[in-house]
Amino acid sequence: MTRHIVLGNGSLLVNIDKWLQVRDFYYPHVGEENHLAGHAHRAGIYTDGRISWLNEDEWKRKIAYREHTLVSDCFASNENLKIELKINDCVDCNKNIFLKKIAIKNLLDRNREIRLFFHHDFHLYGDGIGDTAGYEPLKNTVFHYKRKRHFLINAVNAKSSLKCGRGDLFDYSVGTADMHTINDANDGMLEKNPIAQGQVDSIISLKLDINAGSEESIYYWICCGQDFEEANKLNSFIMKRTPQTLMKETEICWLGLANKCKMDFADLSEDIIDEFKRSILIIRTQVDNHGAIIAANDSDNLQFNRDTYSYVWPRDGALAALALQKAGYSELAENFYIFCKETISDFGCFLHKYNPDGSLGSSWHPWIKGNKPQLPIQEDETALVIYALWDFYERTKNKEFAEKLYKPLIRRAADFMVNYIDEKTSLPKISYDLWEERQGIFTFTCSTVYAGLLCASEFAKLLKDNKKTRLYKETADKIKQAMLDYLFDNNAGRFLRMINFEGNEAISDLTIDSSLYAIFEFGILDANDSRVEETMKAVKEKLWVKSGVGGLARYENDLYHKASDDKSIAGNPWFVCTAWLGKYYTAKAKTRKELKEALEIINWIMRNALSTGVMPEQINPYTAEPLSVSPLTWSHSEFIDLVVNYAEKYAQLK
């Protein structure tokens, strides 16, 4: 369940797995629609009378990115075939083109004919019903289409002249996705079936004559459009511009974005700086051009719970936007707030999650409980959007943008938070927790609402809404005091995960939860306050995974993707939670020497990311193998936030 390479431009997203297969193909929105639905696209080599597909065991593969780019830099070798491949993949920065270069080296001391095969198993709109695939002879291309999704596939030899406007396809066929089409390549020749409809697949081949010990290259691409004309125009553009030029320009584009960052990285190593820049680029692939910031787009999760992570959780999106802003990339976050303005509910809060196009996403939060209506929300999602938006303003000083969002988003959300308060306690009313599993009054949620209201008060002050300025600030102050009264347990000497009320009696939840970091993160108390120190001490003692792998679990006895029955292991290590511990070490450090604890956390994250720098949600506590989805946008966001905090604190401690 991992995607080692993610490539995208905000409307086309392509994921590649460790077997060098294209596994997800999203267009025209990041995370929507997936036109593969998990059906891999494969590449294979035919020579000396047999074919070998790159996902087979006889291939040795190395997977990486070119430094500071969203261009893959992969290698595959086959000792039996005496073949080496160098593979580069990219998605054009601005145009919806997936482009691949393969350099093939003949390791034998004789000349050989080698054929490359590319198999496509599209399921357009994610269902594969009523698709059409066919061959177009004038341009020598293969196409797949249904309604407003048209994909044109072409390939050329690197030495070919492109003036004729035709591709170099040597052979082709289309079929009904029943294994016949892909097996047709076993003898190196294809049936040339020209058209198929229903659930379809296609296959193409190119032929190369490669001298002994020599290397030849090909370029292959898929053009994405909403009709034949758009896809064909992109194909003509590539032939005129040349694929070599497009790949180079794409590499330069991503280099420019990655190296736009002008941070002082303090004493951090080059490897950490590279991963920081890689994380910026990976988050960029998960940001739709219309503003949606998607949690994850690893479709393998579908086989476990019949749903995906391809949604906008306003919480995840806000924290990703915040990380981008702190790293100097506020322009990548701006459209997220427009997206939020368009999706906030009539209640004045955000509901559970949203599709990339802004429509309401699936949910397991009910609208009724015990025969009583309820609002099925995680209130921290509403609060964190306002919190991140104030940071956006402070960095950009774009008052016009703030004015545009004040009434429809900021004031609406703040008024909701003011009204969604229990009058007896001055705490926010019950909602679902950030882990989406239980209801109550949570330390994390209350902390974010406090911070969100303070930020709303600042917006009101900026725009001279004096009445709201006072109202939001006074409500926030009451929440803070109520948290100290109700959510700090004097007997335990630390904060509670949550409370619930049975009548007038408060029922305490003493479960240790990593999200208790929110007490210092959102300004309730200073990181060096003794109450915070005792809370975070308990978090480290109970949740640090003591199997040798390390890392911090979410909370005690976390069952999600649980990999061990060992009761001494609280749960699987999460990148997000581990980064939170690093942020605590950073916040409380009084000397540069004390910052070493935070640096150890940064290095833990580095060690446990995939070889390409992609970060999963969590890992196995014994093997460190990735679990759940990968990449998780939130993981990269918290890593970026931690690194920025570390570098800033290092500078402060001169």
Cis upstream peptide for 28 (omega within 30°): yes
Both tokens of residue 74?
A: 């992969």
Q: Which two tokens stand for residue 219?
A: 């370029």
Joined tokens for residue 525: 């108390």
Which alpha helices (DSSP H) does 112-221 contain, by range?
A: 180-183
CATH number, domain 5-257, options 2.70.98.10, 3.50.50.60, 2.170.190.11, 2.60.40.10: 2.70.98.10
Q: pLDDT class for 2, splitting at 50, 70, 90?
A: confident
- Give bridge partners of residue 46 from the DSSP assignment: 51, 115
Task: Read off the pLDDT band of 504 (50, 70, 90).
Answer: confident
Task: Give the Cα separation of 120 and 416 in Å (integer).
Answer: 49
- Residues making up the chain, counted from first to last: 654
- Edge-to-edge strand ranges of the sheet holding 5-8: 5-8, 13-16, 22-29, 32-34
User: Is residue 305 predicted with pLDDT exceeding 80?
Assistant: no
pLDDT in tens, 178-195: 999 999 999 999 999 999
Assigned fold of 260-361+374-652: Glycosyltransferase (1.50.10)
Name the residue among 491, 509, 489, 490 with its Cα closest to residue 499. 509
> In which band, very low, low, confident or very high, does the pLDDT at 165 lie, cut at 50, 70 and 90?
confident
Please report where in the chains the tokens 């980064």 appear, as a residue: 579
3-class secondary-structure state, position 467: helix
CA atoms within a 13 Å half-sphere pointing along the CA-CB vector of 300: 18
Please, which pLDDT band fits residue 383 given cuts at 50, 70 and 90?
very high
Instruction: Return the pLDDT at 47.
Output: 97
Q: What pLDDT score was predicted for residue 161?
A: 81
Q: What is the pLDDT of residue 1?
A: 55
Cis status, amide bond into 521, omega within 30 of 0 = no
Q: Is 563's pLDDT higher than 90?
A: no
Tokens of 349: 């809060």
Q: Shortest CA distance to 116 belongs to which of 132, 101, 99?
A: 101
Question: Structural domain boundaries of the chain?
Answer: 5-257, 260-361+374-652
Give me the amino acid identity at 280.
I
State the pLDDT confidence band at 566, using cuts at 50, 70 and 90.
confident
302 pLDDT exceeds 70? no
Question: Quick one: 229 exposed, middle or buried, by C-beta within 10 A (0-12, 13-18, 19+)?
Answer: exposed
507 forms beta bridges with 500
Strands 32-34 and 42-47 come out as unpaired
